[in-house]
Amino acid sequence: MSSISIIGLGGMARAIATRAVQSGNTVEVIGRDAAKAGALAAELGGSATAGAFGATPAGDIVVCAVPYASAARVLAQFGDALADKIVIDISNTFNADATGVLTPAGTSGAEEIAKAVPAGAHVVKAFNTVFGHVLAQGGRLDVFIAGDDADAKKRVSTFIESLGLRPLDAGDLAAARWLEAVGPLLIGLANHGAGFNISLGVTIAD
């Protein structure tokens, strides 16, 4: 089992934390509003605790569950407290009408976020292709990951497996560019007949 900290207290934080607590992981939730973090920890029950914003997270794996526009700034506020941590970037980077991504060609949100963490921390992209409300419903969904450090990806995969989900490795951190492009694809599918109760998966043919 993993020890994880989640920065952010919104829908995705709650969905990941709920599954993480239920599957026996040690979970810390961290928000800019300490009272709100305490309330979420109490609601989650089990192993859940509330951590202090900006202090060293208790978890070895830190899930950054804030909007992309704030993510680098939020992580920078933790500074060296994130040294040696695995940081999971779950952000979607699409624009307001989901017709494209906010990042320029040749980079990704994950690669930009990686510039905000100290040397020794490893950023892994994961979970951005899964809707929070679908995650909360349960089921063995596919979770695509991307990252440069093999051991970090292995540990993130173990965590994802523990949630009853299937991790699928898309490549190094630059592959986050393609995972982030899945955001507009999912919104397009949802808006053109499939509805929002969907999840993207891979069929591996025999």
Ligand X SMILES: NC(=O)c1ccc[n+]([C@@H]2O[C@H](COP(=O)([O-])OP(=O)(O)OC[C@H]3O[C@@H](n4cnc5c(N)ncnc54)[C@H](OP(=O)(O)O)[C@@H]3O)[C@@H](O)[C@H]2O)c1
The least CB distance from residue 206 to ligand X, in Å, is: 31
**In whole angstroms, what is the distance from residue 72 CA to residue 80 CA?**
14
Largest CA distance in the chain: 51
Asked if residue 103 binds ligand X (CB under 6 A), the reply is no
The least CB distance from residue 133 to ligand X, in Å, is: 6
In the chain the beta strands, taken as DSSP E runs, fall at: 3-7, 26-30, 49-51, 61-64, 86-89, 122-125, 142-147, 166-169
Residue pointed to by tokens 């526009």 = 69
Asked if residue 108 binds ligand X (CB under 6 A), the reply is no
Rg of the Cα atoms in the chain = 16
Residue in the shown chain whose Cβ atom is closest to ligand X: 10
Residue in 6, 48, 62, 65 binding ligand X, rule: CB under 6 A: 65
Touching ligand X, residues 13-32 (CB under 6 A): 13, 31-32
The least CB distance from residue 93 to ligand X, in Å, is: 8
Nearer to ligand X, 65 or 114 (CB): 65
The least CB distance from residue 14 to ligand X, in Å, is: 7
Residue in 4, 66, 146, 176 binding ligand X, rule: CB under 6 A: 66
**In whole angstroms, what is the distance from residue 27 CA to residue 75 CA?**
18
